[in-house]
Amino acid sequence: MNLSKNDIDNLEHTFAINLINSITGIKPANLIGTSDLNGSQNLAIFSSIFHLGSKPPLIGFVTRPSKKVIRHTLSNILETKFYTINHIPPQYTKNAHLTSAKFEKEISEFDTCGFTSELKDNFCAPFVKESAIKIGMKYVDSIPIVHNNTTIIIGEVENITIDNNSLIDNNGNIDLSHSSGVSGLHTYYSLLKENSYAHATLKEHAIK
């Protein structure tokens, strides 16, 4: 299949949304946990979380235009300045997918979608007990993207919880076999470790 710019511009709407959402390859499947200042909790699936840098430890994610629909995750982050990022175990992808339904603000997706809220050490945003890998985040900045009215939210890692030490090796590499990937808007993948290579140098280049 070869699609030109003109072909892409004229694709049927749902086909175009699915294609463009899946064309970049696998995306990490994460749940973002937040709370408002009254303690009302929210949980929502995000596939746009990306590594922005290690020193300081910064993570970004993309939010859709916020004018038309009240975005509970975003409003809670801006209100409290804290949130959590939680990996989705492969056996919980159906539950996680349901958090994308449009619940009223007073409804907690934790209860409704079958997850357990976990509060720790005075951190004001709730973690997901069922997640093997959890990150506590502090809000840093919002970067408006004028080209499509999205916003990139930047946060700094405040704390990390890894339930089982077998999921991290002696060099700090996390095993993703208990985490999930997502393609497009609704297709979930499990992750199978295949290879790990040393830092690439010019000495190795003759492998053809």
Residues 29-58 within binding reach of a copy of itself (CB under 8 A): 29-30, 47-58
Q: Which residue has the tokens 């200042």?
A: 37
Which residues are CB-contacts of 39 (< 8 A; sequence separation ≥ 6)? none
> From the list 33, 34, 97, 125, which residue makes contact with a copy of itself (rule: CB under 8 A)?
97
Check residue 183 for interaction with a copy of itself (CB under 8 A).
yes
Check residue 106 for interaction with a copy of itself (CB under 8 A).
no
> Is the distance from CB of 117 to CB of 33 less than 8 angstroms?
yes
Q: Cα separation of 89 and 95, whole Å?
A: 10
Check residue 174 for interaction with a copy of itself (CB under 8 A).
yes
> From the list 3, 10, 129, 142, which residue makes contact with a copy of itself (rule: CB under 8 A)?
3
Q: Which CB sits closer to a copy of itself, 76 or 85?
A: 85
Minimum distance of a copy of itself from residue 39's CB (angstroms): 21
Omega within 30 of 0 (cis) for the link into 144: no
Q: Extract the tokens encoding 140.
A: 């840093």
> From the list 38, 41, 114, 117, which residue makes contact with a copy of itself (rule: CB under 8 A)?
114
Q: Which CB sits closer to a copy of itself, 105 or 173?
A: 173
> Is the distance from CB of 184 to CB of 15 less than 8 angstroms?
no
Check residue 70 for interaction with a copy of itself (CB under 8 A).
no
Q: Cα separation of 130 and 197, whole Å?
A: 31
Q: Which residue has the tokens 């946060």?
A: 155
Q: Extract the tokens encoding 116.
A: 């357990």
Q: Extract the tokens encoding 168.
A: 């991290």
Check residue 66 for interaction with a copy of itself (CB under 8 A).
no
Minimum distance of a copy of itself from residue 118's CB (angstroms): 12
Q: Largest alpha-carbon pair distance within the chain?
A: 61
- Point out which span in 33-41, 66-74, 76-84, 155-163 binds a copy of itself (CB under 8 A): 155-163
Residue in 128, 120, 126 with CA at minimum distance from that of residue 86: 128
Check residue 124 for interaction with a copy of itself (CB under 8 A).
no
Q: Give the per-residue contact string, 4-23, with a copy of itself (x = CB under 8 A; - = no).
A: xx--x--x--xxxxxxxxxx
> Is the distance from CB of 28 to CB of 48 less than 8 angstroms?
no
> From the list 25, 37, 38, 122, which residue makes contact with a copy of itself (rule: CB under 8 A)?
25
Minimum distance of a copy of itself from residue 112's CB (angstroms): 5
